[in-house]
Amino acid sequence: MPIGSISSSPDAVGVAVVNYKVPVCENHHEIMENCQKIARCIKGAKQGYPGLDLIIFPEYSTQGFHPDKWAEFTTTLDGPEVAVFKKACQEHKVYGIFSITGEEHPEGKNPFNTLIMITDEGEINYVYRKIFPWCPKEPWTAGHETGVAIGPKGLIVGGTICYDTNFPEVVRDTVMKGAELVVRIQGYMYPCKEQQRMVPQMRAWENNCFFAVANMAGKDHVYSYFGHSNIVDFDGSVLAECSTGPDEMTYATLSLTAIRDARRNWTAENHLYNLLHRGYTSEAGGHPTCCFDFFKEWVKNPKEAARKGETLTRDADAPEDASGQWIQAPPPSALAAATVHKGQSLMSTSKAAASKAQKGDLKGASAIAAHPEKANGHATANGSGLYA
C-alpha cells in the first residue's frame, strides 16, 4: 500500500483513525457538546484528507465512562447523539464508526456496549454489540453475534470492541462472514500498551485482513489511555500509527484489489483457505473437518465445556479480593429510576431530541435528553426493529 498520501482512488478506501481524547462528561449537555466536537473532527478530517472514505472513533468516545453515572447516560440508536453523527456523515460524504456506551436494553437490563457504522448518506447500516465485556469492571450486557456490512466502495467491514479482540475466535468468525477490514474500537489504558499494539498485527496476519484500531488518549476519572491508534495491512505490517497524544489522527489507503488477489492466489500464507483444506498437498481438497475437540464440545455441550475450563482456571466469577472492586450492576429499580429520570424511556423521547440535534439546536436536544418529561407533544418511537 502507498504510505504518506492523503488521497484515495476508486480501488483504494481511505481510512482515518482518531486518538480521541477521552471525554469526562458530568451531564447530558456535556455529552451533546462532545458529540458536536466529534462532528467538527469529521469536518476537519475530510478537509485535510480529501480521499477520506471512513473515519473511526474509539470506544467510549461518545459518552465516556463515568463510574457513578453510566446508567444515566444510556441512549438509543435513534437518540440525539447518533443524530449528530448521521448529519456529519451525510454532510461530509463519509462513512463513520462510532461508540455508544451504553445502548439502552429493550428489556431494562444493563445497557449494551455498541459499535455502529453510519453511511455517507447518514444511515446506520451496521450494529455490533460487544461480546466480551471487560470483566470484572465493565457492567455491559454481552452481545451474542458477530457480523459484517458493506462499507465504502464495497469494502466488507466487521467490528470488534476492545477486549473482544483478545479472543481470536471473534475475529476469525467475523472474517469468515466476509470481513476484509476488521475495525477495533477500544478504550485501552496503561499498562496494557505493548500487548495491545501487537494484537492487531497478529489478527491481521492470521486472517489475511486489514485491521484498523481507534483508541482513546488522555485521562478520565480512573485510567490513563495510551492512544496508538493504527491501521494494519493484511500482511500484518503497520501502515500508519498515532503516538500517545490526545486527538491525533492518522490515515492510510486500503486496496480492494490487493486483498482480494491475495486471498485468491496466496498459498502458504493463505490462512483462510488452509484452515478448511488441511493437507491438500497430500490429498486433493484436503480435510475440511474440525479436528479441535474443545470447539466440538463447546458447540455440542457449552455447560460441560465451561465446567472443564473451570478445572484449568476457577469455578467462581472472580477471586474474593477482586469482588469488592467491581462496578456492580445497579438493581433493576435503580435502572428503572434512571430511565424515569429521562422519561418513561429514552425510546419515547429520543426522536424529539434527535430532531433538534439534526437541526443544530444543541441546547434543545440536551434539554430533552436530560428532562424528557418537558418534551410533551414530540414524536415518540417504540424502538421496534432495533433488536431484530
Which of the residues are catalytic? Answer: 59, 130, 162
Are 92 and 42 spatial neighbours (Cβ–Cβ below 8 Å)?
A: yes
Which residues lie below 8 Å from residue 170, measured CB to CB, with a gap of 6+?
131, 132, 146, 160, 164
* Terminal alpha carbon distance of the chain: 39
**Dmax over Cα atoms in the chain, in whole Å?**
73
* Residues 239, 251: Cα–Cα separation, whole Å: 9
CA angle 16, 48, 94 (to 5 degrees): 50
Q: φ and ψ at 207, to 5 degrees?
A: -115, 10
Which DSSP string do the residues of 30-88 spell out, in sequence order? HHHHHHHHHHHHHHHHHHH-TTEEEEE--TTTTT---TTTGGGG-B-TTSHHHHHHHHH
3-state SS of 82-95 is: HHHHHHHHHHHCCE
Grid cell locating 18 = 482518531
Grid cell locating 172 = 476469525
| 68 C-beta neighbours (distance < 10 Å), count | 9
